[in-house]
């Protein structure tokens, strides 16, 4: 038996709301067998379940602000402890503050791991408002769509699973997106310098096609996990 163990990949996607982190994470998840870990999804699940953390997070999320590090880290650490993440993870929407980045570095170091790459998706802010305000997802499988850029091929049925119910996030309206963009620039964009200093920063022009961006990300992932 070959007992050589490879360190699981830890990929971070950085970028403002609407940059395509979720869309790309889902594609990479399928192609590379990694686990997408979205703190936004975990928080929305906590809100839906009505847990104490969910109740505290709900108002902040609806206003477009950032949920406290304490709540986010508790949820994230819980998820990172599950066995399936051993395959490697794509962090989508985490870390978003200095405190979260430092906590992640510490958590990984304790497991003998480190960030493989932090990829900044570079986009134009104004375009993000239109992208986010028009998006919706399949209520069954989560496939993402957009009113103008990516409608289901057959009207009213999901391309991927055939589901006929779609949903829109409460915070995907123009006013809240502007608040989320402000939070991104004030608290999350500074992390780009943190990862540059660690020597793991990659940047990708994310204004092109979904497939083109996916292939740029795939090339980075193959390179950093080789
Ligand atoms: P987007 O990237 O489009 O803003 P997300 O689903 O990642 O969408 O996040 C939705 C909301 O959830 C954020 O606006 C914020 O309120 C909260 N949130 C998600 N991740 C974090 C995090 N790491 N730290 C603080 N708040 C978070």
Answer whether residue 132 shows pLDDT above 60.
yes
Strands 135-138 and 166-167: antiparallel
Q: DSSP for 127-161? A: HHHHHHHTEEEETTT--EEETTTB--SSTTS-TTT
Q: CA-CA distance, 193 to 112, in Å (whole number)?
A: 23
Strand partners for 136: 145
Distance CA 30, CA 36 (A): 10
pLDDT of the residue at 62: 94
The share of the chain scoring above pLDDT 70, in percent, equals 97
Tell me what the mean pLDDT of segment 106-129 comes to. Answer: 94
Active-site residue, selected from the candidate residues 44, 79, 131, 180: 180
Give the mean pLDDT of 3-25: 86
Q: Judge whether residue 6 has pLDDT over 80.
A: no
Burial status of residue 110 (CB atoms within 10 A of its CB: 0-12, 13-18, 19 or more): exposed
Residue 5 in this model has a pLDDT that exceeds 80: no
pLDDT score at 2: 42
User: What is the distance between the alpha carbons of residues 94 and 101, in angstroms, rounded to a whole number?
Assistant: 8
Non-local (6+) Cβ contacts of 223 within 8 A are none
Of the listed ranges 12-21, 140-149, 157-166, the one predicted with least confidence:
140-149
- Residue-level pLDDT at 157: 97
Mutate to test the pocket of ligand 1, among 48, 66, 128 (most ligand atoms within 8 A of CB): 66
Residue 198 DSSP class:
T
User: Taking a C-beta distance cutoff of 8 angstroms, is the pair 136, 142 a contact?
Assistant: no
Radius of gyration, CA atoms only, the chain = 17
**pTM of structure:** 0.90
Q: Taking the alpha carbons of 154, 157, 158, 162 in that order, is the dihedral positive or negative? A: negative
The pLDDT of residue 22 is above 60: yes
Which token pair is 117? 């790459």
> Is 96 among the catalytic positions?
yes
Which range (3-7, 38-42, 45-49) has the least confidence? Answer: 3-7
Please tell me which residue, 88 or 5, carries the higher pLDDT value.
88
**One of 150, 169, 178, 196 is an active-site residue; which one?**
169
pLDDT at 76: 95
Ligand 1 site residues (CB inside 6 A) read 17, 21, 38-40, 43, 60-61, 64-67, 72, 93-94, 96, 100, 180
pLDDT of residue 3: 41
Nearest to 8 by CA among 78, 80, 86, 105: 86
């Amino acid at each position: 038996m070959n007992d050589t163990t490879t360190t699981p990949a830890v990929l971070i996607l950085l970028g403002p709301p609407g940059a395509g982190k979720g869309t790309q994470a889902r594609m990479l998840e399928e192609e590379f067998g990694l686990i997408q870990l979205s703190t936004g999804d975990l928080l929305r699940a906590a809100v839906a379940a009505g847990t104490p953390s969910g109740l505290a997070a709900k108002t902040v999320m609806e206003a477009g602000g950032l949920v406290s590090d304490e709540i986010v880290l508790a949820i994230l650490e819980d998820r990172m402890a599950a066995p399936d993440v051993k395959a490697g993870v794509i962090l989508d929407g985490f870390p978003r503050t200095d405190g979260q980045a430092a906590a992640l570095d510490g958590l990984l170091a304790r497991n003998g791991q480190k960030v493989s790459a932090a990829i900044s998706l570079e986009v134009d802010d104004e375009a993000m408002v239109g992208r986010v305000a028009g998006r919706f997802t399949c209520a069954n499988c989560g496939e993402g769509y957009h009113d103008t850029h990516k409608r289901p091929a057959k009207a009213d049925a999901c391309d991927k699973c055939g589901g006929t119910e779609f949903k829109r996030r409460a915070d995907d309206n123009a006013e809240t997106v502007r608040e989320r963009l402000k939070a991104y620039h004030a608290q999350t964009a500074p992390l780009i310098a943190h990862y540059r200093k660690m020597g793991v920063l990659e940047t990708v022009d994310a204004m092109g096609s979904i497939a083109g961006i996916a292939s740029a990300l795939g090339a980075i992932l193959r390179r950093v996990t080789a």
